[in-house]
Structure 1
Amino acid sequence: MKKIKVMHIIGRLPVGGAENLLLTIVRNTDRNRFNLIVCCLDKEGQIAEKIRQGGIKLVCLGTTRVRHSYRKIRRLVELLRHEQIDIVHTHLYKADFWGRLVSLLYGVPVICKTEHGDVNSFKNKPFYFKAAEYLCFNKILDRLSDGIIFISEAQKKEFEGKRIKMKNSFLIHNGLDTKRFSSSNKRRSQDRSEKLSKNNIVIGVVARLSDRQKGQSCLLLAMRKIIERYPEAGLLVIGSGEDEGRLRDLSAQLGLDGSVSFLGVRDDIPELLAGMDILVQPSVSEPLGVSILEAMYSGLPVVATNVGGIPEIVRHGETGFLVPPKEPDALADSIIKLIDDPAMAREMGEKGRETVMSGFTGDIYTKTLEDLYVSLLKRKCRNRNYRYADLFEIT
């Protein structure tokens, strides 16, 4: 029977949480049931080649400028018509706006989006997208969409509390593509307690360098207290962003140049995590935190802030420690506690890996998403009597 055609639409494809989740989806989707296409509205980025390597068709429209809106709409309509898409799934705000608007106008049977940010994330968007938010366009598009997928319970409650109650909202926790991680990571994690006892300590943070959301400055302040106790401790800052220069300056002002390394964007995260002892996520806001899942799967204990969806994956005192945001002393104390007790750190790392394996893998996420696709398509076929529904078997 004919496969269900799904088009994922995203603005661009740099290294990031939403982009990596999309990569996880396309790598784990059942190709016997679904035919996937990825449409990138702007330039491709580092994730594009990985998508192509998986045998997925990738189409880049090459523009997100407002003055090119007509051209973008025309090309997207042509693509939808040519590919005969059954389901459109959008990611991030540009694709959520343009992708859903064009798909609704064209009449794509099922339209859904994954909400990757928090309810106030539109404040960082360009002016015309802020205007769209204020004019309730996104609320209208949400109501007209068949599915709004949230990545954590906290995020879902936040949106439903500040916007209209969405009957079409669904919760699917982020999943980690464990195929990216070699078995050597697990073996190397077993030696961490010995490494900690020798004071050869590597602390890491993996996040976009946007201090207002990710809180890296709090970790830099905490490092002063950590280094007073353990002078050989070092911090790896992985990622790039608008605050990189300011964070580098702060590190220098605090006298941490010899202890802090800024590594930029990396595509060898599994290997870097295998060499760390503790993963820290000092976020001010965080819908879930894919880097936390990566660290837990690698056998690392986690110290993170008690915000957003983080408590849904990090169990305080079992797989790591949760601390209030913007409190460097509390952050430092929890990190020092792990360094002081290597056996506890190793046990937390092992429990963290079990947590990911039992509920947060890419296979689990994608299977749940596939079931949702089929459910939404069945419902639309029943409600609207779409003639195309007889062309393929929905099982």
Structure 2
Amino acid sequence: MKKIGITCYPTIGGSGVIATELGKKLAERGHEIHFITSSMPFRLEKVYVNVYYHQVEMSHYPVFQYPPYDLALAAKMAEVIDREKLDILHVHYAMPHAICGILARDMAEHPVKIVTTLHGTDITVLGIDNTLKPVIRHGIEQSDAVTAVSESLREQTVAMLETNKEIDVIYNFINEKEYYLKQVTELRQQFQINQSDKIMIHISNFRKVKRVQDVIDTFKKVNEKIPSKLLLIGDGPEYSNMVQHVNDMGLEKEVHFLGKQNNVSDILSMADLMLLMSEKESFGLVLLEAMACGVPGIGTNIGGIPEVIVHNQTGYIVELGDVHQAADYAIELLSDREKQLQFSEAAIKHVRTHFASDTIVNQYEHLYNRVLEE
């Protein structure tokens, strides 16, 4: 049994999901897990044995233009390290969490190992900023171990930061107890969707890099040939623009904006196809969640997406912005029931074979053991 601290962004998002699910899985295996975050992680929806939560408390001083969250986090980390005698502090995101973890390690009296998991924007967005690059590099190189959620992200990190730090690739995973193909006939009726209609789905934070307009434009072309509905889940900066775009094209009755949803497995189970047309995507966890529910995906040839989708087996890969090809693939699949079933079965099998939670958690446990032995 090990005592492991976990710090992540507690809000809805792929990194927070993975960090929280990892903690829950480790707790099931008898490890003592301590979440150190600004608020309760949204996936900690109930009491779990061996799971503890430590809230970072913020102080507001007039001398600071902004509350010093990073310093407050580091102080709380050091406090928990010493009080709980943590063996490992596993931080998700290099900025600011790895930097805070390193500072906490320096402040704490009890020795602790720092494991940093890179999820994407801490490298692909923040890493472009020359003022932050040395800070991010320091966070990575001073960590005792570093992981990336895809080979693409590992390669980007090495190239952008010019670091020689060994980076292990450990893929994301899903909770099989939640993400599986369910019977959702009543849910389809609640949405008033005809049994003959095909359902396409997109889940994101509605940022520009997600290119939700490409999703809508692809759907429009598909809907012209096959009666369909598009379910858009999430919220963010482009939400209002996308509502306007749908209205401009006269698709109000075909496109459903569902907003933020804490758990989407039921909705995924009634979908026929997932669309992820991003221009930046280090992994694409929503694709994995969809595939676990038997939903094939169409994604761009960007980042880690090709490491999740097996082209022409569990879905299709298209070039960035190619809504015509995406629509053609969607029409080809949705008009062939036998092919759709083949893709659905292949998607479920692919997730179970390559992204099973037990397999991925084993990899993290092996990493922890290696770090503690060094």
Q: What is the TM-score with the length of structure 2 in the denominator?
A: 0.88
The verdict on how the C-alpha distance between 1:370 and 1:181 changes in structure 2, with shifts beyond 3 A counting, is same
Aligned to 2:113: 110
Aligned to 1:14: 11
Q: Which amino acid aligns with 1:154?
A: S
CA positional deviation for 1:146: 1.0
Q: Does residue 89 of structure 1 match 2:86?
A: no
Contact kept, 8 Å, 1:90 with 1:100, in 2: the verdict is no
Aligned length: 358
RMSD, aligned CA: 2.5
CA positional deviation for 1:132: 5.5
CA positional deviation for 1:182: 5.2
CA positional deviation for 1:71: 4.4
State how far apart, in whole Å, the 1-side matches of 2:215 and 2:317 are.
14
The verdict on how the C-alpha distance between 1:66 and 1:137 changes in structure 2, with shifts beyond 3 A counting, is farther
Q: Does residue 150 of structure 1 match 2:171?
A: no
What are the ranges of 5 or more consecutive residues in structure 2 without an aligned counterpart?
A: 60-65, 186-192
The verdict on how the C-alpha distance between 1:150 and 1:368 changes in structure 2, with shifts beyond 3 A counting, is same
Mapping of residues 261-300 of structure 1, within 5 Å: 261-300=256-295
The verdict on how the C-alpha distance between 1:54 and 1:181 changes in structure 2, with shifts beyond 3 A counting, is farther
State how far apart, in whole Å, the 2-side matches of 1:368 and 1:73 are.
27
Aligned to 2:63: none
Mapping of residues 1-395 of structure 1, within 5 Å: 3-10=1-8, 12-29=9-26, 31=28, 34-40=31-37, 42-44=38-40, 46-50=42-46, 52-53=47-48, 55-63=50-58, 66-67=67-68, 70-92=71-93, 93-106=95-108, 108-118=111-121, 119-122=123-126, 133-134=132-133, 136-181=134-179, 184=182, 199-211=196-208, 213-230=209-226, 232-379=227-374
Q: Secondary structure at the match of 1:180?
A: coil
State how far apart, in whole Å, the 1-side matches of 2:160 and 2:130 are.
18
Q: Secondary structure at the match of 1:241?
A: coil
Higher fraction of helix = 1
State how far apart, in whole Å, the 2-side matches of 1:72 and 1:131 are.
24
Q: Which amino acid aligns with 2:105?
A: S
Contact kept, 8 Å, 1:281 with 1:304, in 2: the verdict is yes
Q: What is the TM-score with the length of structure 1 in the denominator?
A: 0.84
Q: Secondary structure at the match of 2:39?
A: coil
State how far apart, in whole Å, the 2-side matches of 1:306 and 1:172 are.
20
Q: Give per-residue Cα distances to partners, 1:195-224, cap 9 Å, x unaligned.
A: x9974111001121112x212110111222
Contact kept, 8 Å, 1:221 with 1:328, in 2: the verdict is yes
Contact kept, 8 Å, 2:27 with 2:49, in 1: the verdict is no
State how far apart, in whole Å, the 2-side matches of 1:69 and 1:21 are.
22
Counting aligned pairs with the same residue, the percent is 21
What are the ranges of 5 or more consecutive residues in structure 1 without an aligned counterpart?
A: 125-129, 189-195, 380-395
Contact kept, 8 Å, 1:240 with 1:264, in 2: the verdict is yes
State how far apart, in whole Å, the 1-side matches of 2:256 and 2:220 are.
15
The verdict on how the C-alpha distance between 1:131 and 1:38 changes in structure 2, with shifts beyond 3 A counting, is farther
Q: Give per-residue Cα distances to partners, 1:10-57, cap 9 Å, x unaligned.
A: 2x41221111101221221165552211100x233533434x445510
CA positional deviation for 1:101: 2.7
State how far apart, in whole Å, the 2-side matches of 1:123 and 1:252 are.
37
